[in-house]
Amino acid sequence: MSTIKTRTTFSFAKYMKELGIMMIGGTLAFTGFETISGGEKFYKEVLMPSLQMLDAETAHRFAVKAAKYKMVPRQWTPDPPSLSTTVFGRKFKNPVGLAAGFDKDGEAVEGLLAIGFGFVEVGSVTPQPQPGNPPPRVFRLREDNAIINRYGFNSEGHAAVLQRRVQDRERPGAMKGVVGVNLGKNKESPSPIGDYVEGVKQFGGVSDYLVVNVSSPNTPGLRDMQGRERLEKLLDQVVAARDNLKLDQKPPILVKIAPDLTQKDKEDVAAVVTKREGFIDGFIISNTTISRPSSLQSDHKVETGGLSGAPLRTLATDTISDMYRLTKGKIPIIGVGGIASGQDAYNKIKAGASLVQLYSALIYGGPPVVSKIKRELGQLLEADGFSSVAEAVGVDHKAT
């Protein structure tokens, strides 16, 4: 009896998945023009809901492939000059980037830049290939516009991702854009610091910036590396590895932190990084949260993992504000967490972010969310009399 039940459940799930894929295939085939031309309404009301018939991980894989084969709306018009900005020595045509975790293996960089992102972050990449946690490991909290994931650094590993980065950069006519690589560590690594040092050596020559990710909640012990002594040791070795690279332009190094740090943790991290001003080039704030706000509605709120999207928004902005204040605005910040509109991006910029990133909003709104955020951000800057993004960075602190 139980065998029959299991089999029935299994084939029903398979049927639903195939039905979903067929529907999306059909949608793409019949609406090819809209898919490429990218109406906001079409994506939000038609394409993304059909993608949501698939389980979250299958939809994620599908979306990466769509970007890889450029089945995405391209941005043809240039960004307005007010959105261009220079941060840690790199020029960005706009300040809205794709956060780590979408293109973990660097498969779709060119397609993602073509959507209109000002920069794309590949990874997290681990030295050795590893499968990550067993599925299911990504959950949509639809009622909350949020995601919980516990992927656990599924990665094809340094060698495979490096090969793609090299090929991408050498391909004649390849689209130019700022590409960062986010470094992680293997779950069973005997030398966690060694994993990051290896990442710097491997990707230093093919990255516009590198990220030391010590804040993913799904690798046991990883977040402990944000503690003062361990962080000092880690950053000193990572900086030494970067400075030893035989390159004309050595990549900036950023540290990605969690939104769940205590006040004391934040003070420690700020002190460690400020002491290395000029060597550590910035922060990414923040990764997903292990907290579960009481406002969450979805049944998936009980899943283990990191929460992202709308419920993370204020927590991430507050963390940006705290770190900007603690570092006296001297360390550039990339603000990320719950950005889905120009106002969300602007709030992070005013709190102290020089650039912003998003991920969860792409799952719910699809690629047109990028042009929407940029358009709205441009309008907000203009309305407040700013002629550039840089002028608005940290203004919340100046007002008080």
Ligand X SMILES: Cc1cc2nc3c(=O)[nH]c(=O)nc-3n(C[C@H](O)[C@H](O)[C@H](O)COP(=O)(O)O)c2cc1C
Query: What is d(CA 74, CA 41) in angstroms, rounded to the nearest whole number?
Result: 16
355 binds ligand X (CB under 6 A): no
Q: Which residue number places its CB atom closest to ligand X? A: 101
Of 15-23, 39-47, 165-173, 352-360, the segment contacting ligand X by CB under 6 A is 352-360
Nearer to ligand X among residue 241 and residue 370 (C-beta):
370
315 binds ligand X (CB under 6 A): no
Nearest-approach distance from CB 312 to ligand X, in angstroms = 5
Do the Cβ atoms of 375 and 40 come closer than 8 Å? Answer: no
* Distances, alpha carbon 250 to alpha carbons 160, 280, 292, in Å: 22, 12, 39
219 binds ligand X (CB under 6 A): no
Q: How many residues bind ligand X (CB under 6 A)?
A: 27
Nearer to ligand X among residue 84 and residue 341 (C-beta):
341
Residue 229: DSSP 8-state = H
Q: Tell me which of 101, 116, 335, 365 binds ligand X, using CB under 6 A.
A: 101
Considering the candidates 124, 189, 216, 360, report the single residue annotated as catalytic.
Answer: 216
Nearest-approach distance from CB 249 to ligand X, in angstroms = 23
Rg of the chain's alpha carbons, rounded to an integer?
A: 20
Nearer to ligand X among residue 100 and residue 225 (C-beta):
100
Long-range contacts of 334-338 (CB under 8 A, 24+ apart): 334/97, 334/254, 334/282, 334/283, 334/284, 334/285, 335/285, 336/99, 336/284, 336/285, 336/286, 337/259, 337/285, 337/286, 337/308, 337/312, 337/313, 338/308, 338/309, 338/310, 338/311, 338/312, 338/313, 338/314
Residue 337 identity: G
256 binds ligand X (CB under 6 A): yes
95 HSE (CA, 13 A, CB side): 36
Angle (nearest 5°) at CA 349 between 356 and 319: 85
100 binds ligand X (CB under 6 A): yes
Q: Tell me which of 35, 75, 145, 182 binds ligand X, using CB under 6 A.
A: 182
75 binds ligand X (CB under 6 A): no
342 binds ligand X (CB under 6 A): no
Of 78-86, 266-274, 355-363, 373-381, the segment contacting ligand X by CB under 6 A is 355-363
Residue in the structure block whose two tokens are 């960004």: 79
Do the Cβ atoms of 239 and 276 come closer than 8 Å? Answer: yes
User: Residue 190: CB partners within 8 Å, gap ≥ 6?
Assistant: none
Draw the binding track, 121-160, toward ligand X (x: CB under 6 A; -: no contact): --xx-------------x--------x-x-x---------
Q: Tell me which of 54, 63, 178, 312 binds ligand X, using CB under 6 A.
A: 312
Of 72-80, 95-103, 169-177, 294-302, the segment contacting ligand X by CB under 6 A is 95-103
Of 126-134, 241-249, 358-366, 390-398, the segment contacting ligand X by CB under 6 A is 358-366
**Is 216 one of the annotated active-site residues of the chain?**
yes
Nearest-approach distance from CB 104 to ligand X, in angstroms = 6
Angle (nearest 5°) at CA 65 between 60 and 69: 150
Do the Cβ atoms of 140 and 149 come closer than 8 Å? Answer: no
92 binds ligand X (CB under 6 A): no
Strand 138-141 relative to strand 146-149: parallel, antiparallel, unpaired?
Answer: antiparallel
User: Which residues are annotated as catalytic?
Assistant: 216
The residues binding ligand X (CB under 6 A) are 99-101, 104, 123-124, 138, 147, 149, 151, 182, 213, 216, 256, 287-288, 308-309, 312, 336-339, 358-361
